[in-house]
Amino acid sequence: MSLKRLVCGINLRDLKKVVTALSKAGTHFNQNEMECLVKLFYSFKEKGNDQGIQEGLDRVEFRNILHNVFGMTDDMLMNRVFGAFDKDSDNHISTTEWVEGLSIFLRGTFEERVKYCYRVYYLNGDGYISQDEMFDMLKNSLLKHSAEEDPEEGIKELVEITLKKMDCDNDGKLSYEDFERAVKKDRLLLEVFGPCLPKIEKCLEFETLVFKDINNEFQL
């Protein structure tokens, strides 16, 4: 995926307007970095029509970025990451959602990443991660690598172990408070239901290409 022609699709006046609005959102990027990310957003849309640019990145386009740029490969988790970025649930990633999402994705504080990971894992709207959801996520992450004769039984046991470790109020499901408390005690539990954050080397590669050498041409 090419990072050239970053000014395609947005003029300077509109760029400044978008960045000014984003500056009020309190991301971890400075103004120059936000300009680079907005330009990159429009470069991904350069083959689309004006309507597509207005709508933002759709699920397929965003998944391609997660795969080609950040090395993610798990279909279920990429869909869930899309849902975490898409805060207004309109099935498109807007410019604001793109920059705010990347702020946590690349440079988020521990507290921001706890909230982000819980949002990735929690999708059904009832306020909890249920045992069925845990089973589905762990099955998705582990079943393909399992050589056991009855791997699903092993996953059920893993759900029970996870609950014992994380379910602080013993109600058989995980609230955000349960998740936060458990992860604060053991940070290895942050991505317990599957990797949903980019590896450090992918973050560094992305930032080097986009922020430091923005005027050159690269191939990701």
Q: How far apart are CA 18 and CA 49, in angstroms?
A: 19
What's the mean pLDDT in 120-131?
A: 85
The DSSP-derived string for 28-69 is: S--HHHHHHHHHHHHHHTTTS-HHHHHH-B-HHHHHHHHHHT
- pLDDT tens digits, residue range 138-168? 998 876 655 556 678 889 999 999 999 999 9
Report residue 200's pLDDT band, with 50, 70 and 90 as the boundaries.
Answer: very high
Residues in the chain: 220
Distances (CA, A) of 48 to 89, 98, 110, 144: 21, 17, 36, 36
Model confidence pTM above 0.75: yes
Residue ranges of domains in the chain, CATH in brackets: 12-109+198-212 (1.10.238.10), 112-189 (1.10.238.10)
Do residues 23 and 34 touch, judged by C-beta distance below 8 A? Answer: yes
Burial of 130 (0-12, 13-18, 19+ CB in 10 A): middle
Which of 2-6, 103-107, 109-113, 116-120 shows the lowest mean pLDDT across its residues?
2-6
